[in-house]
Amino acid sequence: MAKSPKTKDSSGSKSGGGDNFTRWLVAGMVGLVVVVAVAFSLFSNRTNTAATLPSTVKQSDGYGISFNSGIKPVIDIWEDFQCPVCKNFEAVVGEYLNQLIVEKKVNVIFHTLSFIGDESILAANAAACASDEDKFLPFHALLYQTQSARENSGLWNAESLQDLGAQVGATSDKFTACVKDGTYAQWVANVASDGAKKNVNSTPTVFINGVEIDRNTQYFNLEAFKAALVTAGLKG
């Protein structure tokens, strides 16, 4: 990713590139500022240290949305809400991971990338807005449940993302404004920039205690994923 604007998800399909960049700029969506900010970061690898951050985010965590900071094992999940393979990963491990988070047995850090285009960017911003409302986990799950079969189909926009927020109880004026205004535009860009610096060029990409799990055996096999966590120090 750091060497080329073209990226791909784990299924091998290409996304990004000059054509997508142009399309983002002329999309005419409410989140245009977000799109421009992320595109700039994707191609420059620059980080804006003055960016407004969601309440659960720290630079030291790669700008990810973190649950149970300071606990081990540490699970870093790099994902794109429009990525169909990420949806498959969520279907396999999502419920289990949410349980571990609630039980405070793991530190999970969600890095919401935006490889695929404008709607990924809008969804990432909205997820951060939901995080401020303590609704990130149900909103995260709902985004994958409502993922369109076609990328950048128009399904996700400021209005529809507010509606999804309402379904999980995020209804405050702050949430509405956050989604409409792209409050976390520069944060979305910083996540992309950090991913580029770490050579994360596929989604999903999952690390446990800093080591990527095996794509062939541990991504989509719940028992193998559980075993990897036990090896990494999960107790109970």
Q: Per the structure block, which two tokens stand in for 208? A: 């446990």
More confident residue, 138 or 4: 138
With bands split at pLDDT 50, 70 and 90, how would you rate the model's confidence at 47? confident
213 pLDDT above the threshold of 50: yes
What are the pLDDT digits (tens) for 62-91?
Answer: 899 999 999 999 999 999 999 999 999 999
Query: Please, what is the average pLDDT of the chain?
Result: 86
Task: Tell me the residue type at 199.
Answer: N
What are the pLDDT digits (tens) for 215-232?
Answer: 999 999 999 999 999 999
With bands split at pLDDT 50, 70 and 90, how would you rate the model's confidence at 59? confident
User: What pLDDT does 24 receive?
Assistant: 40
Q: Per the structure block, which two tokens stand in for 158? A: 């400021």
Q: Measured between alpha carbons, how far is 81 from 91 in angstroms, rounded to an integer? A: 13
Q: What end-to-end distance do the CA atoms of the chain give, in Å?
A: 38
CATH code of 6-231, in short, is: 3.40.30.10
What are the pLDDT digits (tens) for 116-127?
Answer: 999 999 999 999
Phi and psi of 79, rounded to 5°?
A: -145, 160
Mean pLDDT, to the nearest integer, of 120-144? 97
Domain locations along the chain: 6-231
103 pLDDT above the threshold of 80: yes
User: What pLDDT does 44 receive?
Assistant: 52
Is pTM, for the whole model, over 0.85? no
Partners of 205 in beta bridges: 78
Q: Per the structure block, which two tokens stand in for 225? A: 């994923």
22 pLDDT above the threshold of 80: no
175 pLDDT above the threshold of 90: yes
Q: How far is CA 122 from CA 113, 222, 228, 230, in A?
A: 11, 30, 33, 35
Task: Tell me the residue type at 116.
Answer: I
